[in-house]
Structure 1
Amino acid sequence: MSSDFEKVNLRGPPFTNQCWTQWFDRDDPSGTGDWETLKSLQKTNPGKICPKPTDIEATTLYGLSVAAAGEVIYKMDTTSGFICRNSDQPDKKCKDYKVRFSCHPSFCDDGAVCWTKWFDRDNPSGTGDWELLNDLRKKNPGQICAKPLLIEAVTTDNSTPAISTGQNFYVYNPTMGFVCRQQDQKFSQCRDYKVRFGCKC
């Protein structure tokens, strides 16, 4: 069960945890739209979604946030789930979305990962975007655990996962942090990234 849930440290000390389910993608937009309704997802995934979620998050299958995708969303709430109707879009076709739900921390397994808040220490105006763990620790004392297990990097503008940008990374690991160097890019400068670290809860 530990692979199905993650505990997310939203802000402040590491005991303000939020529990997120795994991502679900039940439908695709080939019919009237992309219908990821809570009732249907709970029916097809028994025990994997709490009865009354406290939050919902949706992204395209390629990692774009709803805001970045720019589509008209019919419903996105913890009661109904997520619905994108093809008829509401200018091009009459929704993108394909995946959703996850937030539950009370007790719903998570104890082996889950706690995530720090997002950090954005540098920008790519110089030699690149340097988000090194040591530098982030100095600037944010007590906010990152001693031995991070995971690292995640996304762009600051629309939260595109770093691995989906097509850029090359000099450093991208939980031991050292994240570095995107201008000299490693073929056609453009590094985008501006923010990072967070996964720690044992």
Structure 2
Amino acid sequence: MRNLLGLVVIAGLISAGSLQPTEPLPLAIKKPVNERCWTEWFDRDNPSGTGDWELLTQLRKKYPGKICDKPVDIEARTWSGKTPAAAGDTVEMDKDKGFVCKNKDQKDKRCNDYRVRFSCYSPYCAEEVCWTGWFDRDDPSGTGDWETLSSLQKQYPGKICKKPKYIEVVTVSGNVPATATGQDFYMFNPTEGFVCKKSNHQDCKDYKVRFGCCCD
């Protein structure tokens, strides 16, 4: 009986000890490594001279502090919202140099008036951001992996804000950031979504995406 009571006491001490409060573990916050956001639109030139010159160096002078040090992408649109291809213009566009449309290169010798914006990594565009869940609506078994914003908004109504500010893309298997896979992407921005096209030199991995929206 004494042995039995001893075992009960020991068990009670172990149980009670396991319920004692302990120091809280530090909370590990892992920030997405693949966040992107877009600057505002810029338009410093008109095509009244030799063309429309929206060079990065000149934009930095006119809009100091408005563009990150190392943009990762550039977009150009006419004031009516058309891409250069849709507008029928031949242009030069580079994230490190900016945008140029020369009048002499156009069939009608006249460029449209363009505005440009640049994509940057957080925290340059940092603000309070609320992230959606992860979405994976397509598999790369066909022409590639198409996770476009318009298709996702149709398939998941009410789950994604109308105008996301950020996008994060990782592989379905292993959660590897898209930018670390070494693959080329046809589309990768929060306003249009993500597309990896299959080609002769690459078979796309299966990706999932999520979007950062302004918190209500």
TM-score tier by shorter-chain length is: 0.5 to 0.7
**Going by fraction, where is strand more abundant, 1 or 2?**
1
- More helix, by proportion: 2
Task: Answer yes or no: is 1:86 the counterpart of 2:103.
Answer: yes
- CA offsets per residue over residues 71-118 of structure 1, 9 Å max, x none? 111x20012100000010110000000000111211112135769951
Root mean square deviation, CA, Å: 3.1
The residue that corresponds to 2:156 in the other structure is: 137
- Per-residue CA deviations over 1:98-148 (Å, capped at 9, x if unaligned) read 000111211112135769951337xxxxxxxxx76xxx228xxxxx74xx5
Per-residue deviation, 1:47: 0.4
What is the CA distance between 1:56 and its match in structure 2?
0.5
CA contact (8 A) 1:17 1:114 kept: no
1:102 and 2:92 matched: no
Tell me which of 119, 126, 135 is aligned to 2:150. Answer: 119
1:34 and 1:81 map into 2 onto residues whose CA distance is 11
Identity of aligned residues (%): 48
Aligned residue pairs, count: 125
- Is the 8 Å Cα contact of residues 33 and 93 (structure 1) preserved in structure 2? yes
- Code of the aligned partner of 1:137: Y
Q: Which runs of 4+ in 1 moved over 4 A?
A: 112-117
For 1:150, the equivalent position in structure 2 comes to 162
Structure 1 residue identity aligned to 2:51: G
Q: Which has the larger radius of gyration?
A: 2
Structure 1: any 5+ residue segments left out of the alignment? 1-13, 122-130, 139-143, 153-196
Cα distance change on mapping 1:112 and 1:65 into 2, 3 Å:
farther
The question of whether the paired residues in 2 share the 8 Å contact of 1:150 and 1:198 is answered with no
Mark the runs of 5 or more structure 2 residues left unpaired by the alignment.
Answer: 1-30, 136-147, 165-210
Partner of 1:28: 46
Report the TM-score when normalising by structure 1.
0.53
Contact persistence 2:163–2:213 (CA under 8 A): no
Q: State how far apart, in whole Å, the 2-side matches of 1:71 and 1:56 are.
A: 17
Determine helix, strand or coil for the equivalent of 1:119. helix
Q: Does residue 1:39 correspond to 2:57, yes or no?
A: yes
